[in-house]
Chain A
Amino acid sequence: MTDRTRLALLLAPALLVMGGLFLTGLGFTLLRSLHYAPALGQTRLDLSAYGEILTSPGFLKSLALSLWIAGASTLIAAVLAVAAALLLRQTFAGRAMIGFLVQLNLTVPHIVGAIGLLYLVSQSGALARLAYATGRITAPQDFPALTHDPAAIGIILLYVWKEMPFITLILLANLQSIGTDHEATARSLGATRWQAFRFVLLPLMLPGLAAASALVFAFAFGAYEVPLVLGAHAPKALPVLAWQTYTDTDLATRPEAMAMAVIIALFGFGLLLAYARVLRVWGSDAR
């Protein structure tokens, strides 16, 4: 058997399965968003669903909200993760314990974290009760609305809580392969600790950080279960709006739901390409 045949046989099942499930799923979504439904006798492609949603303030608000959520979460998580990675890079008392907690965090599903956070920071949650006990508030409404709020602060908090450890671990692995020689060299050339970090270490960490951030952004943008638990009624995060539109009893809104899904997919693709580009362009150099 030639090398090529062997290669094809190795890859075939994965390609077939992914093609069959993923591509078909995407394809169906795309086609339906264009009003293509041969079963219903509609074979003309039209963009009216896109027109509908792109002119609907509800959709635009949801899109803006989701972008806000993803952007803020990614940025905060990234910055905190850099700090955490630098901290955990060194040895100190309790480091092993914290390392364990970081890894533990990764095994907790998002929805559990969301529920826990809900019980923690909602207006009748644990922190609110603490505020009451210390006399800072007198009623639940006095506690700032961090959940089900229009600024989606609770959602952002949850994403930061979950994604910061994720990025941290990736950065730690990167730091391990980067090693300490570069900084040592910079220091011996007269750089202060901050300068060594800013001009030598940080640039080396950037590709890994960017790649991880792309993944985080994609997730925070398109995940459903977190805004389900922590999100406000209006505006809804985009995935929640999309699901609601899909399950609406008025079947005519289906193409709009599909269109929303396609928009989410497009963002996802953009981030995937960014991720791939970052890793490919810098992949070998950063070591």
Chain B
Amino acid sequence: MRGSWRTLAGLGLASWLILPMVPLVIWSFAHGWRFPDLLPQTWSIKAWTYALSPASGVLNSFGLTTLIAAATTLLAALIGVPAGRALGLHQFRGKTLVTLFLLAPAVLPGMAVVFGLHGLFLRLGLTGSVPGVVLAHLIPVLPYMTLIMAAVFSRFDPDFEAQARTLGATPFQTFRCVTLPAILPGLLTGALFAFLVSWSQYLLTLAIGGGRVQTLPLLMFGFVSAGRNDVTSAIALLYILPGLLILAVTIRQVTGRNIALTEGLRP
């Protein structure tokens, strides 16, 4: 008896999770879908062909969003790996404060900082530029990467490095041959999710990009406002594709504990 409740609840949960996605799929293949029709009068792939054509600018935007996310992730990794090491392997006075300071940008709403950031970037000539947007994205992405790397390093035994040194490895060789292989899985998983953080940014891109940096969500919203539900849906489905891919790639690595680590900061 309990088992059937469980299955029912499971079914309910599953449906609830899928539900909002259903209209998107239908709309993307619709050519005219007026109220009160349950299904489109005409099915068509026009929305898709338009979205994937150069005229819509979707593919360009997709590339741009990918570029920005990749650049942000790379920067975040370069800065976040050493910082994560400091937090994961060292105890020191003021560590809580430093951790909070590095955590804050990911917890505080972007709204808190974006106006001032815009003013600052205006002065530095960074508004309306891709580098400006990349830097802005660092604000939510870097803390994320740092805390993931802190968790990764806390599972790493520094004695391995000491062992390598006594076997004749220089510090650089030690990093390349011992440390890096050990942190790489966690680093890659963290990087993929960090990519998603940048990928889904809206406000920061809007404010700093100043309308000149049209990432996919901004472009998509344009079509929402114009009432083009079909194109919007096609773009939306394209927009969630990288997330699906990343999930597929990391699904083996992600266990209960890992999930909390990788998703711990992304409501």
Interface of A toward B, CB cutoff 8 Å: 3, 7, 9-11, 13-15, 17-18, 21-22, 24-32, 83-84, 87, 90, 92-95, 97-98, 100-113, 115-120, 124-126, 128-130, 132-133, 140, 158, 161-163, 165-166, 169-170, 172-177, 214-216, 218-225, 228-229, 239, 242-243, 246, 257-258, 261-262, 264-265, 268-269, 271-272, 275-276, 280
B148 smallest CB distance to A (angstroms): 13
* A223-B221 in contact (CB<8A): no
Binds A, one of B48-56, B132-140, B159-167: B132-140
Task: Please give me the 5 A-B residue pairs with the lowest Cβ-Cβ distance, nearest first.
Answer: A222-B109, A107-B243, A28-B116, A29-B116, A265-B112
Q: Within 8 Å CB of B23, what residues of A?
A: 116, 119-120, 125-126
- Given known A-B contacts A10-B85, A32-B115, A90-B6, A219 and B221 have beta carbons under 8 A apart: no
Q: Within 8 Å CB of A269, what residues of B?
A: 104, 108
* B27-A272 in contact (CB<8A): no
Q: Within 8 Å CB of B257, what residues of A?
A: 173, 176-177
Bound complex: CA A66 to CA B154 (Å): 38
* A22-B110 in contact (CB<8A): no
Check B119 for interface membership: any CB of A closer than 8 A: yes
* A268-B109 in contact (CB<8A): yes
B127 smallest CB distance to A (angstroms): 13
* A92-B7 in contact (CB<8A): yes
A194 smallest CB distance to B (angstroms): 13
* A29-B115 in contact (CB<8A): yes
* A25-B116 in contact (CB<8A): yes
From 107 to 131 in chain B, residues with beta carbon under 8 angstroms from any chain A beta carbon are 107-117, 119-120
* B256-A268 in contact (CB<8A): no
9 examples of A-B residue contacts, CB within 8 angstroms: A18-B142, A98-B17, A107-B240, A125-B23, A129-B36, A169-B259, A173-B257, A173-B259, A261-B114
* Nearest chain B residue, comparing its CB with the CB of A220: B267
* A116-B203 in contact (CB<8A): no
Interface of B toward A, CB cutoff 8 Å: 3, 6-7, 9-11, 13-14, 16-24, 26-27, 35-38, 78-80, 82-83, 85-86, 90, 92, 96, 98, 100-105, 107-117, 119-120, 135-136, 138-139, 142-143, 146, 196, 199-200, 202-203, 206, 217, 220-221, 224, 229, 232-233, 236, 239-240, 243-244, 246-247, 251, 254, 256-257, 259-261, 263-267
Which secondary structure characterizes the binding site on chain B? helix
Q: Within 8 Å CB of A94, what residues of B?
A: 7, 10-11, 14
Q: Within 8 Å CB of A280, what residues of B?
A: 96
Q: Within 8 Å CB of A11, what residues of B?
A: 82-83, 86, 98
* Nearest chain A residue, comparing its CB with the CB of B99: A276
Bound complex: CA A218 to CA B111 (Å): 11
- Given known A-B contacts A25-B113, A100-B251, A129-B37, A17 and B108 have beta carbons under 8 A apart: no
Q: Within 8 Å CB of B26, what residues of A?
A: 126
- Given known A-B contacts A90-B6, A133-B38, A105 and B17 have beta carbons under 8 A apart: yes
* A268-B108 in contact (CB<8A): yes
Bound complex: CA A253 to CA B7 (Å): 55
- Given known A-B contacts A7-B92, A32-B115, A87 and B109 have beta carbons under 8 A apart: no
Q: Within 8 Å CB of B139, what residues of A?
A: 18, 21-22, 25
- Given known A-B contacts A218-B108, A222-B108, A176 and B256 have beta carbons under 8 A apart: yes
Bound complex: CA A116 to CA B237 (Å): 10
* A29-B112 in contact (CB<8A): yes
20 more CB-based (< 8 A) A-B contacts, given A21-B138, A26-B116, A92-B6:
A10-B82, A14-B83, A18-B101, A25-B117, A25-B139, A29-B113, A101-B14, A101-B18, A112-B240, A118-B224, A119-B20, A125-B23, A128-B36, A222-B111, A224-B203, A242-B111, A264-B111, A269-B104, A272-B103, A276-B103
A54 smallest CB distance to B (angstroms): 18
Bound complex: CA A109 to CA B198 (Å): 10
Q: Within 8 Å CB of B260, what residues of A?
A: 169-170, 172-174
Q: Within 8 Å CB of A24, what residues of B?
A: 116-117, 120
* A222-B38 in contact (CB<8A): no
Q: Within 8 Å CB of B9, what residues of A?
A: 83, 87
* A26-B267 in contact (CB<8A): no
* B35-A132 in contact (CB<8A): yes
